[in-house]
Structure 1
């Protein structure tokens, strides 16, 4: 059987449905109507010659062929977007110093800057990994050009904010009786007050068992069963259990990340990076396939 050539718009519709979990949400994401997305999905299935999604009254699931195509389609769309950006981007030369919070230093957000360097091969990237308070201070002192950091009340709220859930993280070996052993980050980490306020409202007692400046050290402590830690979705690892309200732990407020730049005049590199970073950010942290059963980072732009 010969399969017809793939069309980018058809692949976009398929990937959007796979990641959103239904046609309606996929249409919203693509700014297309639901009938349009459904038609494009059928056209793609006609070209493949096999069903890609199994539908019933309430659920949709990727077929074996759908799972295979999803893996390739995401790579095709990623390459297509990179080519589009490289052809449309201005020629940039110079150095840019960016900052990242630790729990994303090896994850999705770092890939944004790596993509930027691939698109702009004449740009040198310097990267600092630190807590958000340090990144804000470095920005104020003009020691870095741009940072993705937790939103702070001391600075004006940027136009674009990325909201990420915060979770009670624990291992199966940790005792969950009061007083609860907490693994915390030192002041001025906002997770502390979020945890204290939530536990106080629930009438739970606790004590501070481990304090660390390192997300990696907190992850190891959680996995060892030493205590409970508030971790954002991006810091969760295999082996870490998330406690919910049915476990007796109140829901935590979401964390907010935003793009901040230095206070002095910015270079063309920083101007361009700031302008396009939100688009790159959305592409880098787009939820993985809901239908394929992969874990979603649960990040959304508000």
Structure 2
């Protein structure tokens, strides 16, 4: 059987459904109607010659062919978007100092900036990895041109905010005890207060077993079974067990991340990156759903 040529719009529809788990949500993400997305899915399946999504009463699952195509489709769409940006972007030259929260440095948030430098080969990137409090201090001291950091009430609310879900993470063999051993980050990490409030509301007792400034160290501690840690989606490693309400753990909120720049005037390179960062976030960070990874969406722009 010969598979027909792929159309970018059909691949966009398929990937959006796979990442949202819902045709209507996919349509909203692509600014297309639900019937349009459904039609594009059928057209793509006709070209492949195999079903890509199994539809039940309340669930949707990728078929084996769908999982193969999903991996390739993401690469195709990423390459297509990179070419589009390179052809439409202005020529930028210079150095940009950016800051990232530590948990994102091993995940797809960091890839946004790596993609940006590939698109703009004459740009030099200097990256600082730190907690959000430190990033805000460096921004205030004009040590950074731009940073993605947790939203702080001490600064005006940014126009575009990205939400990242928090989870209770444990090792595969961890058995919750009483009091619950916690792996925590030191003050002023907001995850501490979030953890304490959530556990108190559920009537759970806890003990601070390990305190570390390193996300990598916390991940090792979780893997070893030393305790439970409140981590954002970007810090969840393969093999972690996510503890949910049915396991006796209260639901956690989402963290709120935003793009911040110093108050002083910026260079064209920083202005361009700031203007396009929300678009880059949406394109670079896929949501993981029941179709693709059986876990909640990681990030969404609000």
- Shared fold (TM-score, shorter chain, > 0.5): yes
Instruction: Report the CA distance shift for 1:202/1:140 in structure 2 as closer, same or farther (over 3 A).
Output: same
Instruction: Report the CA distance shift for 1:3/1:171 in structure 2 as closer, same or farther (over 3 A).
Output: closer
Distance in 1 between residues matched to 2:171 and 2:46, nearest whole Å: 47
Instruction: Report the CA distance shift for 1:172/1:107 in structure 2 as closer, same or farther (over 3 A).
Output: closer
Q: Provide Cα deviations, 1:10-68, integer angstroms capped at 9, x if missing partner.
A: 11112222222232221111111111112222222222333323334333333333222
Deviates more, 1:188-197 or 1:20-29: 20-29
Q: What does residue 155 of structure 2 align with? A: 155
Q: Map 1:252-291 to 2 at 5 A.
A: 252-288=252-288, 290-291=290-291
Matched residue count: 302
Partner of 2:222: helix, strand, or coil? helix
Q: What does residue 51 of structure 2 align with? A: 51
Question: 1:203, CA displacement in angstroms?
Answer: 2.2
Partner of 1:165: helix, strand, or coil? strand
Q: Map 1:1-302 to 2 at 5 A.
A: 1-174=1-174, 176-288=176-288, 290-293=290-293, 295=295, 297-302=297-302
Instruction: Report the CA distance shift for 1:87/1:171 in structure 2 as closer, same or farther (over 3 A).
Output: same
Instruction: Report the CA distance shift for 1:57/1:227 in structure 2 as closer, same or farther (over 3 A).
Output: closer
CA RMSD of aligned residues (A): 1.8
Instruction: Report the CA distance shift for 1:247/1:51 in structure 2 as closer, same or farther (over 3 A).
Output: closer
Question: 1:257, CA displacement in angstroms?
Answer: 0.8
Question: 1:127, CA displacement in angstroms?
Answer: 0.4
The gaps in structure 2 that reach 5 residues or longer are none
Q: Provide Cα deviations, 1:230-249, integer angstroms capped at 9, x if missing partner.
A: 11111111332222222222
TM-score (norm 1): 0.93
Instruction: Report the CA distance shift for 1:10/1:106 in structure 2 as closer, same or farther (over 3 A).
Output: same
Question: 1:296, CA displacement in angstroms?
Answer: 5.4
Instruction: Report the CA distance shift for 1:206/1:52 in structure 2 as closer, same or farther (over 3 A).
Output: closer
Deviates more, 1:70-79 or 1:130-139: 70-79
